[in-house]
Structure 1
């Protein structure tokens, strides 16, 4: 059975860090874009995919220029939609509601926001649609955690244990069968 490598790269620092930015299309900093380009150096990939939000797309465009690759945009790689919490710092959100969300984001989504299971479903669909070639996806921290859940079976508590700062990269080796089977081959921060 042949496998392929899937690299997931979190976007670089946005101009307004520390806010809930799911569907919010915040611009990345030049330093954030550069950090993503550096993380892509030395890894092999034939296809480049990006979330459609500019904090990812601009980094993907910069990476693509170094490889002569045109990034393909796929909205399934977006961050969780934080609904009424969009654009807010965690310190300004009701502490009890936020605690319930962290404990069980599917049962307690942000008001007007997306359920965790919806994020997992769309990221799983994006992974399932990939042709088995070396791929780099520039995406978001929540989408990366959804991929970890889908590919490796980590539960919610384990997922929060992964530190995925801006420009962090996860690399997986994926084998396709009745269900995808994957192994994390690298976490680079």
Structure 2
């Protein structure tokens, strides 16, 4: 299989922005949807794949319809599951626990939540089903996991990449058993 362009877009602002939404299905704000639709207009892709959560799925459906391309929904592109922290304002969580998580999300995952390795495994599996120019609308954690899988980023390098709502990370992907990629653009 030959290399293909992959555009990873973080969903626009959802209701309850700033919280650890994880797998919570917080609806998107209208402005967030509009930002994603606008950002997609300059991208080249043959289909759209989205997380199954409304904040990613809603703009994806509009973008696919506007472009006349297929739209697939894939739950593997969800955000990290924050377990008991789902929906929490980070300021209300024990700061030492949150700091340990940010420093080592495998050693200290959220209580009853998903580890970084598990998230990367889901994303690796999702990447394996791509193979043509594609726009994936997902979440910041999923985008950082893709950087870990494709470019070898460690956790600290991933956290250092600024991915505000509507950010687009473009890569050239070489698929295979050990997929790899080159970053070709970042639109924060």
TM-score under structure 2 length normalisation: 0.97
Greater mean deviation of Cα atoms: 133-142 or 178-187: 178-187
Give the structure 1 partner of residue 4 of structure 2: 4
What are the within-5 Å matches in structure 2 for residues 39-78 of structure 1? 39-78=39-78
Q: Alignment partner of 2:9: what SS?
A: strand
Contact 2:26–2:55, Cα closer than 8 Å, also in 1 = yes
Residue of structure 2 in register with 1:147 after alignment = 146
Output one character per residue of 1:4-57: Cα deviation in whole Å (capped at 9) or x when no partner. Answer: 001100000001111000110000000000000111012110011000000000
RMSD: 1.1
The residue aligned with 1:188 is: 187
Does residue 1:18 correspond to 2:18, yes or no? yes
Measured after TM superposition, the shift of residue 134 of structure 1 is: 0.3
Aligned residue number for residue 167 of structure 2: 168
- For structure 1, list consecutive stretches of 5 or more residues without a partner in the other structure: none
- Corresponding residue pairs, total: 188
SS in 2 for 1:100: helix
- The 3-state SS of whatever aligns with 2:120 is helix
Secondary structure of the structure 1 residue equivalent to 2:153: coil
In structure 2, do the counterparts of structure 1 residues 68 and 113 end up closer, same or farther at CA, with 3 Å as the change threshold? same
Structure 2 residue runs without a partner (length 5+) = none
**Partner deviation per Cα, 1:106-147 (whole Å, 9 max, x = no partner):** 1101111101100000001100121x2100000000000000
Whole-Å Cα distance in 1 between the matches of residues 55 and 67 of structure 2? 19
Q: Which residue is equivalent to 1:116?
A: 116
Partner residue in 2 for 1:158: 157
TM-score of the superposed pair, with normalisation by structure 1: 0.96
**Shift in CA distance, 51/178, structure 1 to aligned 2, threshold 3 Å:** closer
SS of the counterpart of 1:14?
Answer: coil
Q: Which residue of 1 is the match for residue 132 of structure 2?
A: 133
Moved more, 70-79 or 173-182: 173-182
Q: CA deviation at 1:178?
A: 4.5
Q: Aligned to 1:5, what secondary structure does the other structure show?
A: strand
